[in-house]
Structure 1
Amino acid sequence: MRNTLFGAICLSLAASIWGGMYVVSKYVLDFIPPVTLVWLRYVIAFALLYAILKIAQRKTKTAAKLEKKDWLLLSWIGFIGYFVSISFQFMGTKLSDAHTGALITSATPAFIVFFGRFVLKEALTVRKIVSLAIATTGVLIVVGWSPNLGNYFWGSVILVGAAITWALLSVYVKVASYKHSSLTITTYAILFGLLFTTPFMFWELAAYDIQAVNSLTVLGVLYIGIVSTAGAFFLWNKGLELMDAGIGSLFFFFQPLVGSFLGWLLLKEHLDLNFYIGGTLILLGVLIVTVHKKKS
Structure 2
Amino acid sequence: MQNYRKGIIYAAITAFLWGFLAIALKVAVRKVDPITVVWMRFVVAFIILATWQAFKTPQSFKILVKPPILLILAALALSWNYMGYMLGIHHTTPSNAQLFIQTGPLILAIAGFLIFKEKLLRNQIIGFSIAILGFSFFYRDQLQAFFETAGTYKLGILLTISGAVAWSVYAIIQKKLVRNHSVDSLNLMLFGLPAILYLPFIEFQPLLELHWTWWLLLLFLGANTFVAYTCIGNALKYIEANKVSIIIILNPMITFITMGILTELNVSWVEHERFSMVTIAGALLVFIGAVLVARKNKSR
Q: TM-score, normalised by structure 2?
A: 0.83
Residue 72 of structure 1 corresponds to 69
* CA contact 1:143–1:256 (8 Å) conserved in 2: no
Residue 258 of structure 1 corresponds to 254
Deviates more, 1:14-23 or 1:129-138: 129-138
Runs of 4+ in structure 1 off by over 6 angstroms are none
The answer on 1:237 being equivalent to 2:233 is yes
Instruction: Give 1:248 deviation, angstroms.
Output: 0.8
| Distance in 2 separating the partners of 1:53 and 1:133 | 42
The answer on 1:224 being equivalent to 2:225 is no
Residue 48 of structure 2 corresponds to 48
Q: Which amino acid aligns with 1:142?
A: F
* CA contact 1:22–1:259 (8 Å) conserved in 2: yes
| Distance in 2 separating the partners of 1:153 and 1:22 | 18
Residue 269 of structure 2 corresponds to none
Residue 105 of structure 1 corresponds to 101
- Cα RMSD (Å): 2.8
| Distance in 2 separating the partners of 1:190 and 1:126 | 38
Residue 282 of structure 1 corresponds to 286
Q: Which amino acid aligns with 1:188?
A: M
Q: Which amino acid aligns with 2:248?
A: F
Instruction: Give 1:294 deviation, angstroms.
Output: 5.8
* CA contact 1:16–1:255 (8 Å) conserved in 2: yes
Instruction: Give 1:154 deviation, angstroms.
Output: 4.3
The answer on 1:91 being equivalent to 2:87 is yes
Q: Which amino acid aligns with 2:287?
A: L
Q: Which amino acid aligns with 2:186?
A: I
Distance 1:294 1:25, change over 3 A: farther
* CA contact 2:44–2:222 (8 Å) conserved in 1: yes
Q: TM-score, normalised by structure 1?
A: 0.84
Deviates more, 1:43-52 or 1:159-168: 159-168
Residue 13 of structure 1 corresponds to 13
| Distance in 1 separating the partners of 2:165 and 2:125 | 18
Instruction: Give 1:230 deviation, angstroms.
Output: 0.6
Distance 1:274 1:89, change over 3 A: same
* CA contact 2:60–2:185 (8 Å) conserved in 1: no
Q: Where in structure 1 are there 5+ consecutive unaligned residues?
A: none
The answer on 1:162 being equivalent to 2:163 is yes
* CA contact 1:33–1:210 (8 Å) conserved in 2: no
% identical aligned pairs: 19
Distance 1:294 1:39, change over 3 A: farther
| Distance in 2 separating the partners of 1:34 and 1:63 | 31
* CA contact 2:26–2:90 (8 Å) conserved in 1: no
The answer on 1:33 being equivalent to 2:33 is yes
Deviations for 1:81-125, whole angstroms, at most 9, x for unmatched residues?
A: 2x1111122334445554442322223222112222333233345
